[in-house]
Structure 1
Amino acid sequence: MSKEDAQIFKVIFVNQGQVFEIYAKAIYQSDLWGFLEVEEFVFGERTQMVIDPSEEKLKTQFEGVIRSYIPMHAIVRIDEVERLGVARISEATGSNIMSFPLPVPPKA
């Protein structure tokens, strides 16, 4: 198996007041301006005895999704990781996460 076959990316982004941490095998800039495309979502195996409700919620939410378009300004961080971690959702309130500043339109 080559290095590229084993690539896994951890993508952290903000969505409706929550911080999503997901894992995927393919991410790239979209032809749709201002969006990042995320494909081939990866979730933990169901063989574990302990099930994380946050990960199960993400599995359900992304079930049947082939490709997701995430706005660039919602992205907090992207990491290429060696091992698959636990996908999770957490509340963004009280955290140090700040939205990417948007340009202010000039006054007419």
Structure 2
Amino acid sequence: MDATTENIDHLSKVSETSCNVDAGNCHRLSYANLSGILLCNYRISTNCGSLVPLATKVQQTCQVDNFYTFGIIGDSSQNASDSIDLHLVVAGETMGYPIE
């Protein structure tokens, strides 16, 4: 099974869990077979399930052959009346991002 698919499946399984990242950091949410999904940017807390469509979009758009998926997608999450920008990274290993 493609590692990115495994990572997306993991996010789906924990969809009601809160995925958090502190300001100025990246947090690895899922890791399988040298591939990971990271949530980066400002302090944010969102249901992990809300990130599945973003990860799926990266997978469908940024796949190299049938071997490797890499991409960064921007979005925002609503927190009361504030909209908070975020980046979701799908990449091999950690790509040098600091991991909490």
Q: TM-score, normalising length from structure 2?
A: 0.26
Q: Which structure ranks higher in relative contact order (CA pairs < 8 Å, sequence separation ≥ 6)? A: 1
- Bigger Rg over Cα: 1
**Higher relative helix content:** 2
Q: Normalised by the size of structure 1, how large is the TM-score?
A: 0.24
